[in-house]
Amino acid sequence: MIASNVEDSNPRPPDDTSAIRPNGWFRKMLVWIISRATPKCRDVVRILSQQMDHELPVMMRLKLRLHFLACCWCERYMKQLQYMRETARCFPEHAEEASGPALSPEARSRLKHVLSNQ
């Protein structure tokens, strides 16, 4: 999402997937309206993180949808938060593959000793 005055210093990336891109005066105006009617990206990312932990009010969810129409970055951010959640859940069972220090031989034999006394 951009305000038109910052557009020049921050060109949109070639892989921009926003539904509404600010080419032509009409689209520029739409983007401007959306940027005024919805939270700023800095706040959107905070709200998106909150959304992972509790349900947002309907109005806020609508505002986010509207915001995404003109901002591919925030929409991407949301998808990436969800992706991180899905993968983080699998981490504990894959911790062995994540390398790092292993059980020392002493700890290993101590464990076996304690367990065999059960």
Partner 1 sequence: MKQRSAAQFSSTSAASPTIPTALRNDPAQTNPDRWVDEHGDCLFRYALVRVRRREVAEDLVQETLLAAIRSREKFAGRSSERSWLTGILKHKISDHFRKLGRETSFTDLESLADEFSEKFVPEGYWVHVKGPKEWKPESDEVVYRAEFWQTMRHCLDKLPERIANVFMLREMDEVESKEICSMLSISESNLWVMLHRARMALRECLEINWFNREK
Structure token digits, residue 100: 């790092």
Tell me how far, at minimum, the Cβ of 25 lies from partner 1, in Å: 20
Draw the binding track, 34-73, toward partner 1 (x: CB under 8 A; -: no contact).
-x----xxxx-xx--xx-xxx----------------x-x
Tell me how far, at minimum, the Cβ of 5 lies from partner 1, in Å: 8
99 binds partner 1 (CB under 8 A): yes
Place of tokens 């591919």: 72
Structure token digits, residue 83: 């992706």
> Residues 93, 94, 95, CA angle at the centre, nearest 5°?
95
8 binds partner 1 (CB under 8 A): no
95 binds partner 1 (CB under 8 A): yes
Q: Quote the CA–CA distance of 83 and 75 in Å, as a whole number.
A: 12
Q: Quote the CA–CA distance of 15 and 93 in Å, as a whole number.
A: 35
Plot region of 21 (φ>0 → left; ψ -120 to 50 → alpha; else → beta): beta
Q: Where does this chain bind partner 1 (CB under 8 A)?
A: 1-3, 6, 9-13, 15, 35, 40-43, 45-46, 49-50, 52-54, 71, 73-74, 76-77, 80-81, 83-85, 87-103, 107-108, 110-112, 114-116, 118
